[in-house]
Structure 1
Amino acid sequence: MTMPPAPRHNGGPPLDDEDDKTASWRSWNWRRAHKKAWKTPPREIALRRLARAEELGMTYRDYALEIMERGKYL
């Protein structure tokens, strides 16, 4: 019996379920979506985000993650 995902869990595919026939398809879709979400933005946007992240004392990756999760610019 599996536990339901915790609140605010992103619902990603279980990576250890070897008996599941659709696991490879879900895993492929998950990797594809992850790659698309973390695609490098144009240079100007990346530099603007980097400057803002440094102002806030965050790393670029943490700042980009906040944008993706909340859809808001800090």
Structure 2
Amino acid sequence: MSTRQTAIRLPTETYDRLKQLAERTGRTTAYYIREAIEEHLEDMEDVYLAEQTLERVRRGEEDVIDAEEFWRDMED
């Protein structure tokens, strides 16, 4: 697996908590940052992409079918 490096800014309180956790567990702060991102990235993608789709629906740019039609099509 290839990796890329990035930089982030954290509020002091968040960074202090992260640093304390890393020190207490013998892991790096980078480890916990990576874990948090990997754990929540899929959920964030789902939320933000769903919000974009909802906006397209509201603007009439997406086709929408009702539940009855959906389930009827699933039976075919």
Q: TM-score, normalised by structure 1?
A: 0.42
- Greater RCO, 1 or 2 (C-alpha within 8 Å, sep 6+): 1
Select the structure that is richer in helix. 2
